[in-house]
């Protein structure tokens, strides 16, 4: 049966309005960012708000009771939490000391017009391969390397110098050396690529002008290189602070679990996992996560403020 002309006429403008809406240049940016916004809300904003709510509750076996600041008061008196915070802070500071200057110097050498380009590319590729390795696999390999027996790779190396086998993962300093070795092996290549991208954005004319004025390589490094890679330095330092304080899986795999002698390898995230997953105290674990978030944000915001990141450029 033929439809009345009025109904066809009413459908045509509706179809035209939908077509205009889909092809609207004003709404196009919102369509493109919609997947990101939805993902951000679903997997970051909502869980973050939920974590803050749970930190004020006693959540046990699906039942939640409001306890106010009791979880944070327990946290303040928790000796194991402060030990985990100390372990994470120490690890973070030492990784900054290693993984900022060493990759920067290697990136400067790779960026110099010396040596064979093929060898440089081979070196860059070999340094980046560890970043592609699973943390689980890397943790198992380093646990075998730092085994306390005389057959462990590291103990075999020090035996060449006449030293006795060391129980690396049984002592605080030995475990820290193993963790730092794993971090250095895994993330040096990544930071090299970050610094290389910053170095290659510096115009060659700056160095040519400095050479004409008689500036040496060391003076060029401090007067040209460092000021011009400041944004890259700020970015690498910021993500390194977060990565150091949020480290968990490396320690978990190195010690074959979340338990270590005298909690020497326990991190803040590891303690959160212990209380929330292993002991099912989700309210207390949420309080640990909130404190960790506040600490990371406070350190990074202070650092970004001191480096002038938030200052507006003068025109």
Collapse the DSSP code of 65 into the 3-class scheme (helix H, G, I; strand E, B; otherwise coil) and give the result.
strand
pLDDT of residue 14: 56
Contacts of 165 (CB under 8 A, 6+ apart): 148, 149, 150, 152, 155, 158, 159
pLDDT of residue 260: 87
Quick one: pLDDT band at residue 302, thresholds 50, 70, 90?
Answer: very high
pLDDT of residue 13: 59
* Backbone phi and psi for residue 74, each to the nearest 5 degrees, phi listed first: -65, -40
Q: Is the pLDDT of residue 20 over 70?
A: no
pLDDT of residue 115: 64
- pLDDT above 90 covers a percentage of the chain that reads 49
pTM of the predicted structure, to 2 decimals: 0.85
Q: Is the pLDDT of residue 278 over 80?
A: yes
- What CA–CA distance (Å, rounded) separates 58 from 71? 8
The lowest-confidence range among 51-60, 116-125, 259-268 is: 116-125
Q: Is the pLDDT of residue 175 over 80?
A: yes
Contacts of 87 (CB under 8 A, 6+ apart): 263, 264, 265, 266, 267
Q: Name the CATH topology of 72-306.
A: MetI-like fold (1.10.3720)
pLDDT of residue 8: 46
187 closest CA partner among 98, 255, 88, 123 = 98
Domains in the chain: boundaries: 5-54, 72-306
Q: Is the pLDDT of residue 26 over 80?
A: no
């Amino acid at each position: 049966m033929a439809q009345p002309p009025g109904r066809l006429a009413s459908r045509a403008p509706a179809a035209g309005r939908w077509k205009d809406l889909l092809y609207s240049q004003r709404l196009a940016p919102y369509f493109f960012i919609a997947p990101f916004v939805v993902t951000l809300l679903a997997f970051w904003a909502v869980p973050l708000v939920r974590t803050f709510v749970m930190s004020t509750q006693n959540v046990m076996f699906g039942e939640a009771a409001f306890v106010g600041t009791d979880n944070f008061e327990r946290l303040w008196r928790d000796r194991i939490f402060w030990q985990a915070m100390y372990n994470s802070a120490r690890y973070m500071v030492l990784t900054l000391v290693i993984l900022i200057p060493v990759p920067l110097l290697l990136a400067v050498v790779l960026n110099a017009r010396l040596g064979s380009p093929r060898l440089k590319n081979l070196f860059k590729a070999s340094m980046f391969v560890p970043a592609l390795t699973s943390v689980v696999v890397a943790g198992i390999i380093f646990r075998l390397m730092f085994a306390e027996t005389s057959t462990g790779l590291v103990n075999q190396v020090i035996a060449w110098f006449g030293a006795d086998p060391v129980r690396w993962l049984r002592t605080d300093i030995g475990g820290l050396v193993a963790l730092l070795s794993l971090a250095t092996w895994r993330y040096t290549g990544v930071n090299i690529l970050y610094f290389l991208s910053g170095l290659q954005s510096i115009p060659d004319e700056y160095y040519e002008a400095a050479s004409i004025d008689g500036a040496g390589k060391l003076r060029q490094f401090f007067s040209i290189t460092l000021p011009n890679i400041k944004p890259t330095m700020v970015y690498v330092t910021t993500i390194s602070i977060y990565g150091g304080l949020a480290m968990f899986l490396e320690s978990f795999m190195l010690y074959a679990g979340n338990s270590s002698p005298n909690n020497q390898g326990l991190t803040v995230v590891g303690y959160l996992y212990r209380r929330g997953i292993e002991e099912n105290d989700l309210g207390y674990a949420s309080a640990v996560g909130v404190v960790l978030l506040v600490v990371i944000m406070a350190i990074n915001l202070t650092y970004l403020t001191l480096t002038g990141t938030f200052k507006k450029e003068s025109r």
